[in-house]
Amino acid sequence: MSSASIPSSTISAEESVGSETSSPVQQASNSAIDESRDSGDTVSNGESPWYYLRKESAGFVSGTLQRGRRNLWQLTTSRVSVLLSSPAASSTSIHQFLKNYEDLSVFILAGEAFCGFEVVDFREKLKAVCENYFTAFHRQSMHALKMVLEKETWTRLPPDTVQAINFAGLVGDGAPLIISSRSASGSSRFPLSTDPSGNRSGGFSYWLKSGNPFSAKLTYYREDQDYSSDSGAASEDQDYSSDVVNSKVRDRKGINGGSPVSGDENEDLHADYIDEDSQLPRRSFTRSISRSSSSHLSTNDDLKAQTGSSLCLLRSMDKYARLMQKLELVNVEFLKGICQLFGVFFYFVYQVFGQENTNSGGKGVSNSSSHRLKSCLSRISQECEQWIKPQFSSSSPSSSLAFPNTVHSLADVTPSSPLNTTSGHVSGISFSLKERCAAVDTVSLVARILHKSKAHLQSMLMSRNGSLVEDFFGQLVGSVPDLTEHLHRTTARILLHVNGYVDRIANSKWEVKELGVEHNGYVDLMLGEFKHYKTRLAHGGIPQEVQNLLLEYGVEIFAETLVEGLSRIKRCTDEGRALMSLDIQVLINGLQHFVPTNVKPKLQIVDTFIKAYYLPETEYVHWARGHPEYTKGQVVGLVTLVATMKGWKRKTRLEVVEKIESAAA
């Protein structure tokens, strides 16, 4: 039926009904008709048949969409869901996945405005796709890290190699892997389907005015670009409908890092390599680094502390942090991935450099470790079991993804032995003193950079997940000082040869009746060994402050050895006890020539143990509780010696020993 034959009263009635029940789609269509009419596309007097025909057709279409828009949206999302169910959706490159994610985010926003309700099911589908992508991405990153760790030689990288590297995404002054001209807050945070004025019913009209949301241009992240915190903040405040990134800002920030390329010349022709993540051409740059940026390794120590494995770890964590910025649906999973990456690195370093044999009979490595370090290692072994378990498996010793067998024996080293045999062997490789110290420094470097990233990581998580960051830094990153101390102590134990001195001390003659002026011979031997120990450190190629630290740990190891030896003595007189004090004083005077700090406080533990010989029998249980630095075996050995020499009753001795053992348990 021709629109010209429709009575004006009918048209007026239809317009009245339409105005009362108009949907966002109908309002938008009417607005579009009115705008075209005002612009002169049709006759402006409102009586043209073409005008009525267009208005009637638009009203019919909008009415149909109004009634069936939910069905249309569900049909559309069901087809898209089928595509997202394909394994290929979770196995693309970072660049392609983020591009797909951004398009799907805009698709959801436009769909919500179109159908008028929140699309929870499809969001969950998108979240599931993101989780699958994280699983595949994390597996690939973890395997890459483990391969680097297995091949690691713990040699410091040249400063020129790492000075141009920044971790802007990790510490918070960088951009995500892919930057859209649309605001990140509009494309990935799923705001309500409202127009800029806050009118929910008119939400879809905004999309009609802004045009095709999928035609916005993209600016790709390049790892050689220098993003500051100012540019990152500007991208957050950028209007949702902006089309391009300000070219003047890019020029001022030095994004290209070199000479500009002429407009008629393709910049990709100057590419040095193809990036493995985005599959885009990239260029290598050696521009000067701004020392004011916290994302750069600004100190000389940081530049010298990098190794291949730490660089691989930091670059992986930097990618994870950038993905947290974009994939907010699963940013908690990426934070857990950062925790696991660092946990595997932490555990591997401990396995390689933190274990030794304890043939000397002193405190074992497990006893010398702090409680926090033990708890941290136990937690890592549980949470990262799938990544570290293969190293304990005997069924697949040839697996390329398994850690090497790092529980190894350590050969004794004589003073004339080369330094590259002073540590354990991993896959046939010997690590020198210099390499062991490099491992300690690189772990500390990673921890320092992570501490810089704490505030940024917290800002990217919702408040209810903030405890995850606190837990990570409190339990794992906070244990790095304990790990570095343990590694240095283990190095000192390996280099300072105290094997046999415990038995030598215990078998010396202590049941003497007169105190002479001569000390025991083991004192001279220990001083000679410490002199060789200092020589090894001096020729190990390590900084002086590290040498001094290892010298102090060496004195503490001597103190532990002395206590262990004295606790094994079977018979001793009061004069013999005085001889012990003489030996300690001679040892202190001799060690003071090798160590720049005062050594007497470090040997106070030995003097206290010697003086405990004179305690009354009723005080030993209380004394043992007040001195947890001594092991249960050492206290029991002391009590047994005192009971033997002072003629305690057997029942009294057994009661004291039982109380000491129960208190220690």
pLDDT 10s digits, 329-363: 898 999 999 999 999 999 999 999 988 654 444 45
Widest pairwise Cα distance in the chain: 136
Strand 178-180 with 273-274, pairing = unpaired
Q: What is this structure's pTM?
A: 0.73
Q: How far apart are CA 610 and CA 627, in angstroms?
A: 13
Q: Which phi-psi region, left, alpha or beta, contains residue 254 (left: φ > 0; alpha: ψ -120 to 50)?
A: left
Indicate whether 42 pLDDT > 70. Answer: no
Q: Which residue has the higher pLDDT, 654 or 369?
A: 654
Indicate whether 664 pLDDT > 60. Answer: yes
The mean pLDDT of 182-200, rounded to a whole number, is: 42
Q: How far apart are CA 510 and CA 300, in angstroms?
A: 54
* Token pair belonging to 277: 């993540």
* Token pair belonging to 234: 């500007």
For domain 497-663, give the fold: Methane Monooxygenase Hydroxylase; Chain G, domain 1 (1.20.58)
* Token pair belonging to 553: 């740990």
Tens digit of each residue's pLDDT (9 = 90 or more) over 442-475: 999 999 999 999 998 988 887 778 889 999 999 9
**Would you say 523 and 505 are in contact if contact means Cβ atoms under 8 Å apart?**
no
Query: What residues contact residue 562 under an 8 Å CB cut-off, 6+ apart?
Result: 505, 584, 587, 603, 606
Query: What residues contact residue 404 under an 8 Å CB cut-off, 6+ apart?
Result: 150, 391, 426, 427
Tens digit of each residue's pLDDT (9 = 90 or more) over 50-89: 888 888 888 888 788 778 888 888 888 889 989 888 888 8
Q: How far apart are CA 314 and CA 445, in angstroms?
A: 10
**What pLDDT, on the 0 to 100 scale, is given for residue 194?**
45
The mean pLDDT of 176-204, rounded to a whole number, is: 46
Tens digit of each residue's pLDDT (9 = 90 or more) over 117-173: 888 888 999 999 999 999 999 999 999 999 999 999 999 988 887 777 888 888 876
Query: What residues contact residue 317 under an 8 Å CB cut-off, 6+ apart?
Result: 167, 170, 338, 341, 342, 450
**What pLDDT, on the 0 to 100 scale, is given for residue 397?**
34
**What pLDDT, on the 0 to 100 scale, is given for residue 348?**
95
**What pLDDT, on the 0 to 100 scale, is given for residue 17?**
37
**What pLDDT, on the 0 to 100 scale, is given for residue 176?**
54
Q: What are phi and psi of 441, to 5 degrees?
A: -65, -35
Highest average pLDDT, of 206-215, 265-274, 557-566, comes from 557-566
The full DSSP string for 399-412 is: -TTSPP--------
Q: Looking at the DSSP assignment, which residues form a beta bridge with residue 599?
A: none
**What pLDDT, on the 0 to 100 scale, is given for residue 506?**
93
The mean pLDDT of 190-198, rounded to a whole number, is: 43
Sketch the domain layout of the chain as residue ranges.
59-137, 152-173+302-356+370-384+429-495, 497-663
Average pLDDT, the chain: 74
The mean pLDDT of 610-619, rounded to a whole number, is: 90
**What pLDDT, on the 0 to 100 scale, is given for residue 16?**
40
Q: Which residue has the higher pLDDT, 563 or 171?
A: 563
> Looking at 19-28, 245-254, 538-547, 549-558, which range is the least confident one?
245-254
Percent of the chain with pLDDT strictly greater than 90: 39
Indicate whether 225 pLDDT > 60. Answer: no
**Would you say 646 and 616 are in contact if contact means Cβ atoms under 8 Å apart?**
no
DSSP tag of 360:
T
Q: Looking at the DSSP assignment, which residues form a beta bridge with residue 219?
A: 179
**CA-based R_g, the chain, Å:** 36
